[in-house]
Structure 1
Amino acid sequence: MTERSRPRLNIGAVRSTFAPWLDPAAKPLVEFDQVVKRFDGETAVAGVSLAIYPREFFALLGPSGCGKTTLMRLLAGFETPDEGRVLLAGEDLAGKPPHQRPVNMMFQSYALFPHLSVEQNIAFGLKRQGVAKAEIAERVTEMLALVRLEGLARRKPHQLSGGQRQRVALARAIAPRPKMLLLDEPLAALDKKLREETQFELMALQQQLGMTFLIVTHDQEEAMVTADRIAVMRAGQIVQIGRPADVYEAPNSRYVADFIGDVNIFEGVAQHADGASVRMASAEAPQGFDIVEDDILKVGSTAWLAVRPEKIQVHLDAPPPGPNRLAGKVADIGYLGDWTTYLVELESGRTVRAARANAARFVERPVDWGDQVWLTFARDAGVVLTR
């Protein structure tokens, strides 16, 4: 089937209603049950419990050394847990070698065989499984069409671009039709534009196959674009799980707020809190911060306000006095085409980041280096954090 004739799925319609984790009757495909893994006395995974559901695109996100790859390798069978259990479709995987597990792993390096052609690389796993020749040929043809490499079947890996090699590795991983595909930093070797294109291709492919994908990445944008849910990891533990928008807009800690995207975090003390709004005193804002907040803070308690740069407005003329108002000078400007980022230095010496979408060509004088500016944001723009 050609790319032009292949039916396109309405991914948005599927993903917007997909939430098996909210259904108490739904059964996970994968369960990590209080899993612990140590290396030379150092704990890499510290009592992780996690459920991943059939057809879910799940992301493990975190910095190097946080335990995300170790968690994936425990599922693949390349590592053995020191404590706890790893279950797949309700079956405890303890003692089951990697080749007997219905999962396949796509490595960051792609690990293609240089002496084999594209079609031979794709067929390799099928031959190891003892699949009949006729079925192998049919499956390889299907995979080549799926990843749009029909005309490159006889080429060797060194004759392909980075993006094409990535597709061959993907086709080889899914050809045996595993229950689950594990992707270890699969797009790290691609340039930015190709990486962005491939993220959407991965999403479409996952929906078309109806397969469960688990991706490990340190790239927050990659996780935000591709995943149904994200687990943010730190020091071998999961610190927050949620949909990308929930993790970004409602982080549960300063660590998550700072790790996911750009953010400004202001320390303050609660002066008034009634369950619907909070007034905070802060050294950064002479008239304090006034924010909408559901959680009740005790008066006098220390908290932090996280405000994303795109929630902050930049003014050349002073707005009326009031809360959520900061004054400073533009220290630097980053023009990104679709966005402009402003680094504004406050009188305290603190630098605040604000961002503005370039939705229209400027009519008024643009904000420039060294300008005196005022920053404001709405009451519902920030998130109060207590840890």
Structure 2
Amino acid sequence: MTRSARASIGAVRRSFAPWSDPAAVPLIRFEGVTKRFGEAVAVDDLTLSVYEREFFCLLGPSGCGKSTLMRMLAGFEEPTAGRVTLDGRDLAGVPPYRRPVNMMFQSYALFPHMSVEDNIAYGLKQERLPRGEIAARVAEMLRLVKLEPMARRRPDQLSGGQRQRVALARALAKRPRVLLLDEPLGALDKKLREETQFELIDLQERLGTTFVVVTHDQEEAMTMAHRIAVMDHGRIVQVATPGEIYEQPRTRFIAEFVGDVNILEGEVAGRTEAGLWMIRSPLSSEPLVIDDPDESLATGTRVAVAVRPEKIRLHETPPAAATANVLAGEVWDIGYLGDWTVYRIRLPSGELIRLSRANASRFVEQPVGWEDRVHVSFAPDAGVILTA
């Protein structure tokens, strides 16, 4: 892809936000959907909207209901209650093969005895499209996923990443309105998974197809999605952009599930003259001061303060008296990750604070070593107050 094309994709993604337009009509709508399997509730009275051309991600731990939700959209399961609509049409009773939806499974489910091009053509042949149109679409898909030289190979002659692209091409060949991807990158190694994430972003923007992805991988969701719905026990906990999910988690569950985080327990002690919340914590002799927009907190309310490791500063000597939110401790663990170094600082209470520093320059020895006495601090706007 040329640099100018990539730049234009970036501009499209930055400006794409139909959910913020009151006049925008969702392409997919779950309305009060519940799904029970016997006594077990997999999806619990869930309402959710997905917009055309959106790269949407359902994120959550195993068993939270995300795959069940996708299967109801695909037509493999029917809701126990509520309804699912696509482009305003109620999908109740519509079989999977009659829905403008296609699904790419985690296992890829390629036919081992067929070549790459025959795998891609399979669904088109089932629809009895003219031979010339099938050949044209297969050629288009091979170009799209950069597998033209592999057209005559069988799946067992391909790498894991190549098999993944064949499955993607087969799913896209029928030109669905919506492409469903169930843990699509789970079988790939870390480096290939990271590369493929950006390939999927570029592909989705070029095609304009609505993608709905199920994953439990937070990094995958944060990288690819326009918006993320975080699920827990069959319910939507928060729907927002990746930045909002990470920087402004609505609950403690989200803060802990998405990325690394420190949770500092305390209670509200009032406000400063500057309007910052003061949080009395057993970890500090002075109240923590937090810049949080919540106006509803009452003095004495038990809360938790969430602080991401990269937002905590490490001081080898005591910081200036005006520095906010200072805690003293000793270095308990050090993890060198190449681009980052992770420290765990043990406070006098026994609590461990995790912080990370970017390795912006080369060095031979760590500037801070095990068991060194240090101080850590974080700015008032680095913390998020959680009441749930």
Q: TM-score if structure 2 supplies the norm length?
A: 0.96
Q: Higher mean Cα deviation, 172-181 or 353-362?
A: 353-362
Q: Give the letter for the 2:309 counterpart.
A: P
Q: Give the letter for the 2:293 counterpart.
A: D
Asked if structure 1 preserves the Cα contact closer than 8 Å seen for 2:333 and 2:345, the reply is: yes
The equivalent residue for 1:159 is 157
Whole-Å separation in 1 of the counterparts to 2:114 and 2:357: 50
Instruction: Give CA deviations for 1:121-175 in whole Å, capped at 9, x if unaligned.
Output: 0000000111110000000000000000010000000000000000000000000
Map 1:61-210 onto structure 2 (within 5 A).
61-210=59-208
Note the residue ranges of structure 1 that are not aligned, 5 or more in a row: none
* Residues 1:310 and 2:310 are matched in the alignment: yes
Q: Give the letter for the 2:310 counterpart.
A: E
Asked if structure 1 preserves the Cα contact closer than 8 Å seen for 2:346 and 2:353, the reply is: yes
* Residues 1:341 and 2:339 are matched in the alignment: no
Q: Higher mean Cα deviation, 225-234 or 281-290?
A: 281-290
The equivalent residue for 1:376 is 377
Q: Give the letter for the 1:316 counterpart.
A: E
Asked if structure 1 preserves the Cα contact closer than 8 Å seen for 2:123 and 2:170, the reply is: yes
Map 1:222-241 onto structure 2 (within 5 A).
222-241=220-239
Whole-Å separation in 1 of the counterparts to 2:79 and 2:65: 13
Instruction: Give CA deviations for 1:263-320 in whole Å, capped at 9, x if unaligned.
Output: 0011111111379310111001111201112112111111110000000011111113
SS in 2 for 1:286: coil
Q: What is the percentage of aligned positions where both structures have the same residue?
A: 60
Asked if structure 1 preserves the Cα contact closer than 8 Å seen for 2:27 and 2:51, the reply is: yes
The equivalent residue for 1:265 is 263
The equivalent residue for 1:52 is 50
Q: Higher mean Cα deviation, 209-218 or 280-289?
A: 280-289
Map 1:324-363 onto structure 2 (within 5 A).
324-362=325-363
SS in 2 for 1:111: coil
Note the residue ranges of structure 2 that are not aligned, 5 or more in a row: none
Whole-Å separation in 2 of the counterparts to 1:276 and 1:247: 25
Q: Higher mean Cα deviation, 132-141 or 10-19?
A: 10-19
Q: TM-score if structure 1 supplies the norm length?
A: 0.97
Asked if structure 2 preserves the Cα contact closer than 8 Å seen for 1:285 and 1:323, the reply is: no
Q: Give the letter for the 2:305 counterpart.
A: L
Asked if structure 2 preserves the Cα contact closer than 8 Å seen for 1:273 and 1:298, the reply is: no
Shift in CA distance, 6/14, structure 1 to aligned 2, threshold 3 Å: closer
Q: CA deviation at 1:342?
A: 0.5
SS in 1 for 2:381: coil
SS in 1 for 2:24: coil
Q: CA deviation at 1:10?
A: 2.2
Q: Higher mean Cα deviation, 125-134 or 365-374?
A: 365-374
* Residues 1:290 and 2:289 are matched in the alignment: yes
2:219 to 218, 221, 226: 221
Asked if structure 2 preserves the Cα contact closer than 8 Å seen for 1:86 and 1:93, the reply is: yes
Whole-Å separation in 1 of the counterparts to 2:118 and 2:105: 18
The equivalent residue for 1:367 is 368
Whole-Å separation in 1 of the counterparts to 2:88 and 2:240: 23
Q: Higher mean Cα deviation, 169-178 or 316-325?
A: 316-325
SS in 2 for 1:333: strand
Q: CA deviation at 1:361?
A: 2.5
Asked if structure 2 preserves the Cα contact closer than 8 Å seen for 1:313 and 1:354, the reply is: yes
Q: CA deviation at 1:12?
A: 1.5
SS in 2 for 1:287: coil
Instruction: Give CA deviations for 1:33-57 in whole Å, capped at 9, x if unaligned.
Output: 0000011210000011000000000
Asked if structure 1 preserves the Cα contact closer than 8 Å seen for 2:324 and 2:379, the reply is: no
The equivalent residue for 2:300 is 300
Asked if structure 2 preserves the Cα contact closer than 8 Å seen for 1:276 and 1:293, the reply is: no
Shift in CA distance, 302/4, structure 1 to aligned 2, threshold 3 Å: closer
Instruction: Give CA deviations for 1:332-355 in whole Å, capped at 9, x if unaligned.
Output: 111111111101111111111000
Q: Give the letter for the 1:157 counterpart.
A: P
Across the two proteins, how many residue pairs are aligned to each other?
A: 385
Whole-Å separation in 1 of the counterparts to 2:185 and 2:319: 45
Q: Give the letter for the 2:302 counterpart.
A: T
Pairwise CA RMSD of aligned residues? 1.6
SS in 2 for 1:285: coil
Whole-Å separation in 2 of the counterparts to 1:35 and 1:350: 42
Whole-Å separation in 1 of the counterparts to 2:235 and 2:370: 42
Q: Give the letter for the 1:315 counterpart.
A: H
Shift in CA distance, 302/8, structure 1 to aligned 2, threshold 3 Å: closer
